[in-house]
Chains A and B, each alone.
Chain A
Amino acid sequence: MTETGNGATPPGLALLDQLEGSKLVPNIMHFGRVLRSTGMPVGPGKILDAVQAVLVVGISSRRDFYWSLHAVFVNRHDQHDIFDQAFHIFWRDPHLLERMLGLLIPQISGEEELAPEEPPNRRVMEAMNPDNKDGKDPEEEKEPEIDVEATMTASSNELLQKMDFEDMSAEEISKAKTAIARMRLPIHEIPTRRYQHSQRQVRIDMRATLRAALRSGGSVIPLQYRKRRRRPPPLVILCDISGSMGRYTRMLLHFMHAITNDRDRVSTFLFGTRLTNVTRHLRNKDIDIAVNKCTETVEDWSGGTRIGESLADFNRFWSRRVLGQGAVLLLISDGLDRDAGRGLNIEMERLHKSCRRLIWLNPLLRFDGFEPKSQGIRAILPHVDEFRPVHNLESLTELIQALNSQLIRRQEGMSEWLQAM
C-alpha cells in the first residue's frame, strides 16, 4: 500500500493514458459534477479519487463500481439516497436518460409548489439537466421511476402556509438589530478537560515549568501553573412556530439567528406539527437570507401544534446527535398542544434526561393570572429545570432582559408554578 499511498503522483494518473479514448473518465467527471449540483460536496479532488478508486477496483462488476464510487463520494449517511438515485439514473443508457428528462422535468417542476417535502429525485433531476425547467402540463405522462411525494398536502391537521416576512416595518427591523447587537445568552460556561495558562497556584504546568527552568539556566525552577479552560456548552433550541405563537415567531427567528451567530455549537429546530432542522439556514450571517431560507423550508407555519409528536421525532432522530456533549436545551413554546398533552409526558421526560439543562421560555406568562391548566403545560412542567416567564416577547429588548435576570427569578418561578399545580 505504501507504493500506492501518499506518493506525490497518484498512480491512477499514470494509468489514465491506458484509458484514453474510453469515455469512462470523462463520465466519472460528469457524474461527479451531477452530484455536486445536487448539493453534495464533490470537488476536483474527489473526482480524481473516484477515478483512482475505479482504476483499482476495475469495472467488471457494476456492484463494485457502485460501492467504489460510493466510498469516495458519499460523506454522510443522508447523502446515500441521493447518490443511489443519481447513480442508477446516470449510469444507464444515456439516451434513456435524455428521454426521461424530457418527460420528467416539466412534471416535477409543475408540482414543485405542491410537494411539501422536496423529493431528492427532483434535485438529482435538476442537477442532470439544469436548463430544462420550463413547466408544461404537470398532468402529462407519468414515469414510474419518480414518485413525487404529495401525500402530506392532504393532511387536514396542518395549515400549510408560508409566512410573509415582507411586512416587517423598517422601524421594527432597526430596533431588532440594535437589540440583537447587545444580545448575550446568560448560560454559564462549563469546565472542559483542556488547560490554559493561569496565575492561580493550583495546578502545576510541568511542560511550561521545565521550559522556564531551562530559560533561567536550570538553577532556579520557576513554577508555572495552569487551569481548566471553560467553554459554553452546546445549545439546542426547540422553537414552537404554531398559530398560537404566531405573533412571536418573527422576533424569535431574529433572536435565534443572533444566538446562532454569537457562539459555536448551536442547533436550532422549529416545530408546529412536525419538526424541521433549520440550523444551517440560521448560520447564514445575513439575517434576511437566513429567515427567507427558514420560511422556504418550514411548511407548517402558524398551523396546529403537536408538541408530543415533534418531541418524539426529536428524541428519535436528533437527540443523540446534538445533545451528546452535555447540551443546554431551550424550549420555546406556549405549551398549548393540539393533542391535549398525549404522549407529551414521556417525551419530555426522555428529553430532560438527555440534556444538561432544560429551560422553558413561555410567552403566555406575561399574563399575571396565568395558571398552568392546559394539559400540555401540565405535562411539560415537571420536566423542566427552569421555567422562564418571558413577559413580553414582542419586544426583543425585554426578552434579553428576561433572560439576563435568570439567576434571580428562576428558582422562585419554578417552585411557584409547581405549587400552583
Chain B
Amino acid sequence: MSVPLPESIEATQEMLSKGHYVADRSLATALYLALKLGRPLFLEGEAGVGKTEIAKVLSEMLNRRLIRLQCYEGLDVSSAVYEWNYSRQMIDIRISEAAGDRDREQMEKDIFSEEFLIKRPLLQALEADLSGMPPVLLIDELDRTDEPFEAFLLEVLSDFQVTIPEIGTITADKPPLVIITSNRTREIHDAIKRRCFYYWVDYPDSTRELQILAVKVPNADKDLSRQIVAFVQRLRNMDLFKLPGVAETIDWTNALVQLDKIDLDPETVNDTLGTLLKYQDDIEKIKGSEAANLLGQVKADLAARQS
C-alpha cells in the first residue's frame, strides 16, 4: 500500500517523529522541500548524528523499498549500476552455436538483453516497486568514493537515467527519493551539491538530545538520561579529537541500562568511556580526574536546576 508524501513541513516532522526520529524543524523543512520538488537531499555532518537513519525512517514511513549504495574508494559501474551475467552469456552463446539456429546479430542482441543484466543499486533505484511507487535511494558516505564516480552520479541525479551502451538509456518513470550522506572526509564537488538541497546535521542541543534518548532508549531512568545528556554536552565543548555523536550517547545509555545503573558515578564513567570516545588519546585525556570533575559539575548543575 502506498503512502502519500507529506503535504507540509508539520506533516514531514510528524512523519519523522512517528518513525522515532526526532528532527529539528529546519531538517524537516529541507526534507519536505526535497520530497516536494523531487530533488536529492544532501546531508553532511559528523559521524553518528543520524544522517543515514533519515533514509531508513523515510522508507519505513512511506512504505517504500530502501536501496542502499554504500560508497567506497574505487566503487565502479559494475558494482554500483549494472553487470552482465557473463557465465550465462557464455552458455547461451555455446547453446546457440551448437543448435546453429541464430545469426550473429540476433545472438548479440539476445545476450545483451535485460535478461542477462545483473542490476546493482543505482539501476534498481530507477524501477518502481510492485505497487508502482519509486524507492528511497540512500547513497551513503559519498565522500568515501572518488571523483570519477561523483562525476558519473551527476547524470543519474539530474536526469534519473543510466546509459548502458549495449541497451540504451534507461530512465526512471518516477524518480526515486534520494538521500545522500557525507562525513566530510573530503569536500564533495559543487556540481553534485548544486543539484541537491543541502543540510548540515549538527549535534543536537540538550533538550533535543533528551527527546532522542526518550525515544531511542525508553527504559532508561529519566534522571540518568538527564545526567548522560549533560555529561555528553559538556564533553562536546572540550578539546577532543573526535567528539561523541548522538549514536554514542545512545550506545552509552544502552550500556548503562544493561549495567542497571540509575546514577552516574566516576567509576562507571571510567569503565564505560570506551562506548563514548573512540580515540585512545581522548580517553586518556578524560579518564580519571577530568571525568570526575565533569561529573561533579553536571550533578551540581542538575541539582541547582531542580531546587
Residues of A within 8 A of B (CB): 1-2, 4-6, 41, 45-46, 49, 52-53, 56-57, 63-64, 67-68, 70-72, 74-77, 80, 192-195, 206-207, 209-210, 213-214, 217-219, 221, 264, 315-316, 320-322, 324-325, 346, 350
Contacts and interface: CB of A to CB of B under 8 A. Distances in A.
A359 B142 CA distance: 29
Interface stretch (B23-31, B221-229, B262-270, B291-299): B23-31
B185 A324 contact: yes
B193 A5 contact: no
B36 A1 contact: yes
Top 10 A-B pairs, shortest CB-CB distance: A193-B74, A5-B38, A324-B185, A67-B29, A71-B197, A71-B30, A206-B86, A67-B26, A2-B174, A75-B193
25 contacts: A2-B38, A5-B174, A6-B38, A6-B160, A6-B175, A56-B33, A56-B37, A64-B9, A64-B29, A68-B33, A71-B198, A72-B197, A193-B74, A193-B75, A194-B76, A206-B84, A207-B86, A218-B93, A320-B185, A321-B185, A321-B186, A322-B186, A324-B186, A325-B146, A325-B186
Contacts of A74: 198, 200
Contacts of A322: 186
B97 A57 contact: no
Given A71-B33, A320-B184, A57 B241 contact: no
B108 A214 contact: yes
B104 A214 contact: yes
Contacts of B115: none
B121 to A, nearest CB: 17
Contact of B146 (A80, A192, A320): A192
A75 B143 CA distance: 15
B177 interface: yes
A145 B2 CA distance: 50
B73 A193 contact: yes
Given A6-B160, A53-B37, A67-B25, A321 B184 contact: yes
Contacts of B33: 53, 56-57, 68, 71-72
A192 B200 contact: no
A35 to B, nearest CB: 14
Contacts of A52: 37
B190 interface: yes
A56 B36 contact: yes
A320 B29 CA distance: 29
Interface string B33-53: 111111000001000000000
Contact of B104 (A53, A68, A195, A218): A218
Contacts of B174: 2, 5
A76 B193 contact: yes
Nearest to A54: B33
Contacts of A195: 76
A210 B44 contact: no
B88 to A, nearest CB: 11
Contacts of A5: 37-38, 174-175
A99 to B, nearest CB: 30
Nearest to B104: A217
A45 B198 CA distance: 15
Nearest to B105: A214
Contacts of B107: 214, 218
Contacts of B239: 316
Contacts of B187: 76, 321
A193 to B, nearest CB: 2
Nearest to B166: A211
B203 interface: no
B30 A194 contact: no
B86 to A, nearest CB: 4
Contacts of A207: 78, 84, 86
